[in-house]
Chain A
Amino acid sequence: MALAGAVSSRTRAAVFVVLAGYSWVMTGVHPFTTTSYVMVAVPSLAFVIAYVSLGGLSRRRDDVDAHYRRHAESATLRSVTPWITLLIAAVLLEVIGLLLGGRSTSVPTLSTAVDHLLEQHWERFLICLMWLLAGAVPVLGLLPLRARPER
């Protein structure tokens, strides 16, 4: 899901700056508050609506399927096996952590482990910026396809 060539570097830089600013503000809000839910909901809705409006979830858009097939660069089930194995290991670790009560010090859940990385504002900022970019990149990737009609 790399950035498409049709999106200018100026646009990408502008998106990065806006998301960085938003990430800094968003991660300064206390968790479990209405504001925190709203701050997460705004980019979530914005990206999902943009992605859907660009045809990202349309079953009639062969060009979207082709876009991802092109970026997969002939990846096969065999070549992604290491990632699937790692995913299964992570899921097993999470399940064991949950079975041990969720806050075990020997086998912690992923969220317990990640909580240690969220103590400082700058740490939350960086992780949040990565999350926002992960939402923005697929939208930017579909922008060059927006003029094509559904078949």
Chain B
Amino acid sequence: MNTTALWLVVVIAGACIELIGRLRPNSVASLRRGLSMSAEHTSGRILLIVFWLFVGVHLFARYTLPHH
């Protein structure tokens, strides 16, 4: 199996949820609404910031290129 296939499924599922969220906002929340909901309290905002910082360091300061 292609190494990125499983994660591609996750991304496609996310895109589908986002699409349904825009078409049926009463039953499914879009990503923007979901993130806003999790940011309603300070603890949620701290978690989001920590996650954002982790992604930045992990992806742009500590990445390894395949075949290198």
Contact = CB atoms under 8 A, between A and B. Distances in A.
Interface of A: 1-2, 26-27, 31-32, 36-37, 39-40, 43-44, 48, 51, 56-59, 65, 68-69, 71-73, 75-76, 79-80, 82-83, 86, 89-90, 93, 105-108, 110-119, 124, 127-128, 131, 134-135, 138
Interface string B1-17: 10110110010011001
Interface residues on B, range: 35 or more
A110 B10 CA distance: 11
Interface in B12-68: 13-14, 17, 20-21, 25-29, 31-37, 39-42, 45-46, 49, 52-53, 55-66
- Which applies to chain B's interface (DSSP): helix, strand, loop or mixed? helix
A141 B31 CA distance: 16
Contacts of A36: 60-61
B40 to A, nearest CB: 5
- Which applies to chain A's interface (DSSP): helix, strand, loop or mixed? helix
A138 B60 CA distance: 21
Contacts, number: 141
Given A116-B66, A131-B60, A110 B7 contact: yes
Contact of B56 (A40, A51, A111): A40
Given A86-B13, A131-B56, A71 B28 contact: no
Contact of B63 (A31, A65, A71): A31
B4 A118 contact: no
